[in-house]
Structure formats: structure tokens, C-alpha cells
Structure 1
Amino acid sequence: MLHQELKERAEPEWKEIIEHPFWTGVRDGSLPPGALTHFVEQCAGHVLPAYARALARTAAATRWDRHVVLLAQAAAGTVRARDRLLAAHNGLDAALGVPRADPKAPAGAITHAHTTFLHAATATTVAAGMGGLLPLAWFRQRIGDDLRQRRVPGARHNVWIDIFHPGPEYAGTVSELEGVYDELGGLMATPGRTELVEYFMLGLRYTASVTKAAWAEAGQPTAR
């Protein structure tokens, strides 16, 4: 199955992302609160809006009706998730010391590169677009689940972890999306499948860069 092949290709990158100091700092509460705000500003202000439009663009381009419905629903859900994340983050108790996120904060260099990739991939072919879209869908689910499973009880950022987790319905959407990739794996000729995998690996690296940029651009050292 194509989605399983992509998961196996992505596993080394996922392990690196999950163990990055940014996410270990979220789990144990040691991450400076300003870094969380920077992450939310980049995601809510730039990455998620670009992702929603990329989903919609691919929905308009695909020829299979079921795929149109799922991608269009995912696009609408991404916009709603952006709004919820921003509102919930800015509604945190001031006692937690987490600064409010500015929805109009400018995009960082890495964020700009990531959003440009999403626009370019989904304007190229359906195969390229589908390849570029999947990593971010998996990122939200994988990171959210890991934070909940391995967070330190009573740690400072536990409330934020619950805010960031996409919820049980999201897992169902991702499962449906994985089914779409398996269908595409059977429908596509070899060149299209190769292009999808190529853009998936590019999208995976851009998705990983979001974490690294949030760590570095919020004033943290590039390595620990």
C-alpha cells in the first residue's frame, strides 16, 4: 500500500522531529513560553492558511469525486482548526506566562519557503500536490499524539498540549486520506507515483523545518 510505503520512508525523519529539543521542551515544560507563541504565529498565520488553499487547489484538480469531497472538507477543516488554535492559545491563563500570538506576525524565512512549496507543489500536478500535502497532515496527528502520551505529569505546558492536539475526529480524517493515497497508488502510472513520492519527501523536510525554525527563530540555540 502506498501510504505504508510513505510511512516507512518518513520514519527516520519523524523520529528526529519528535525528539527535537522543541518538542521535548513542550513535553517536560522546559520550553520558553515565547517559543510556543512563535510556533502558533507561524502556523496559524501562515502555514495552515497556505495548507488549506493547497488542499482546495488539489481538490479542484483531481478527477475522482470522492477525493474532491475529502480534500475540500479537509480544506474547510484546516481553516476552522487554525481559528481554534489561535483562539485557544490566546485564551490561556496569563499565569502560565505564554504571550499572546499576533495573527498578523510576519512569516519567517523558513515559513515563507514552506508555504511557497505548498503553493508550487499543488500548482504542478495532482501527483505533486498529493505528495506535498500528506506530511503536514501526519505531522499534526503524530506530534499531537506523542505529546499527550509522553508528557510529564504536571508539566507547565500540559494545557497547551491539549489545545494543540487535533482531537479524535482528525484521526478518522487522516485514515480516510491514507485510503486515498492507496487508491492513487493503484491508479497512477509509474511516473506519477514517482513524482508523488518525490514531493512527499520534499514536503516532509519542509514540515520538519517548521519545528527547527520555531526553536531557532524564538531565540534558542540551533543545537543542544
Structure 2
Amino acid sequence: MLRRELAEICEPVLRQVLDHPFWSGLRDGTLPPAALARFVGQDTAFLLPAYARALARCAAAATEDADTLLFGQSVVGTLEARDGLRAAYAALAGGLRLPEPATDPVAEPAVAAHAAFFTDSAESSFEAGLGALLPMVWFNAKVTDHLRDNAVPGSRYLPWIAAYHPGESYGYAVEAFLSLADRVGAQSPPRLRRVITDHFSRGVRHELAFADCCADLTARPAGKGAR
């Protein structure tokens, strides 16, 4: 199954992501509040909308109705998650003493590159789009489960971690995408199978770069309204 090959690509980078100061700082409560504000601002303003549009392109390119449905439902889920992330941050900001998010954010270079990667891949081919989009859903499940299961008792970010977790049903979406990758990989010639794995490899590196970007408090201000 293709997922086994993808897991071999994924695991070393996933370990770096889980151990990254951004995510470990959320778990133990040491993350500077400005880093979480940057994460929410960059994710909701740029990454999630780009991801949703790339999903929509893959939905249109799919040859099976079930695949169009999976990608289409994921478009809705992604935009709803974007709105939920903003609402959760606003609701928790006062109690957690979090800064207000930027009202006019500017995409950090790593985020702009990540968003462009989604767009370019989905426009290139169905296989390229599938490979590029799969890391986000896979890493989101792994990271949020790890946050929930390993958060330090008493961490200031426990309410955020609880709100950020997408819920147990999210596992069904991950499995649906992995099953799709297995099927497409089995049906594809070696050249197109490599397209999937190559774009997946690039996608997982973008996931790590995003964590680097959010934790880098020496970066330029995110935009008007940032503190």
C-alpha cells in the first residue's frame, strides 16, 4: 500500500514537528503568546483558505464521484475549521492573556511558499494535488492527538489544546484520504506514483517550515494590529 511508503517519508519529519519548540511549548505552557497569535493569524488568513481552494480543484479533477465528495466535504470542513479556530482564539484570548491577532496580516515567506505549493500542485494534476494536500490532514491528526495526550497538567494552554483538537471523527477523514492514496497509487503507473510521493515529501517539509515560522519571534510584525 502506498500509505506505507508515505509513512516512511512522514515519520522522521513528524517526529521533528512533534518535538518542535512551537508544539512542545504549547504542551508545557512555555510558548510565548505572540507565537500562538502568529500561528492563528497565518493559518486562518493564508494556509487554510489556500488549502480549501486546492481541495476544490482536486474535487473538480477527480474522476470518481466518491472522490469528488471527499474533497468537496473537506473544503467545507476546512473553512469551518478556519472559522472555528478564529472563534476559539477570540473566546480564550482574555483568559489566557493572548495578544489580539493582526487585523491586516502579511504572509510570512514560509507561509506564502506553503500556500503557493498547495495551489500549484492542485493545478498541476490530481496526483500532485493529492500528494501535496495529504500531509496537512495527516499531520493535523497526529499533532492534535499528541497535544491532547501529552499536555503537561496545569499548562496555561490546556483550554486552547482542547478547543484546537478536531474531534475523534477526524480520524475517519484521515483514513479516507489514506485509502484514496492507496487506491490511486495502486492504479497509477510508476511515473504518477512518484508524483504523489514527491509532492508528499515536499508537503511534509512545508509542515515543519510552518512550525519554524510561527515560533520565530524575531520575524517581522505580522501586519497592522499586531502587538
Q: TM-score range by the shorter chain?
A: over 0.9
Structure 1 runs of 4+ with >4 Å offset: none
Q: Would you say the 8 A contact 2:93–2:100 is kept in 1?
A: no
Cα distance in 1 between the residues matched to 2:51 and 2:213 = 18
Q: CA deviation at 1:93?
A: 4.9
What residue is the counterpart of 2:218 in the other structure?
219
CA distance in 2, matches of 1:176, 1:103: 36
Give the letter for the 2:218 counterpart.
G
User: Does 1:43 find its partner at 2:39?
Assistant: no
SS of aligned partner of 2:92: coil
Distance 2:30 2:177 in 1: 35
Identical counterparts, % of pairs: 37
Q: Separation in 2 of the partners of 1:101 and 1:145? A: 25
How does the TM-score come out when normalised to structure 2?
0.93
Following the alignment from structure 1 to structure 2, what is the Cα–Cα distance between the partners of residues 147 and 204?
19
2:195 is aligned to: 195
- Aligned partners of 1:33 and 1:98 also within 8 Å: yes
Structure 2: runs of 5+ lacking an equivalent: 220-227
- Paired residues, number: 219
- Please list the CA deviations of residues 195-217 of structure 1 after superposition, one character each: whole Å capped at 9, or x if unmatched: 1100110111111111010011x
Instruction: Indicate conservation of the 8 Å contact 2:93/2:99, yes or no.
Output: no
- 2:193 maps to 1:178: no
1:158 aligned partner, one-letter code: L
Q: What are the superposed Cα offsets for residues 124-144 of structure 1, whole Å, 9 maximum, x if unpaired?
A: 011111110001111211110
Q: Which residue does 1:15 correspond to in 2?
A: 15
1:102 positional shift: 3.2
Q: Which runs of 5+ in 1 are unaligned?
A: none
TM alignment of 1:135-214, pairs within 5 A: 135-214=135-214
TM-score by length of 1: 0.94
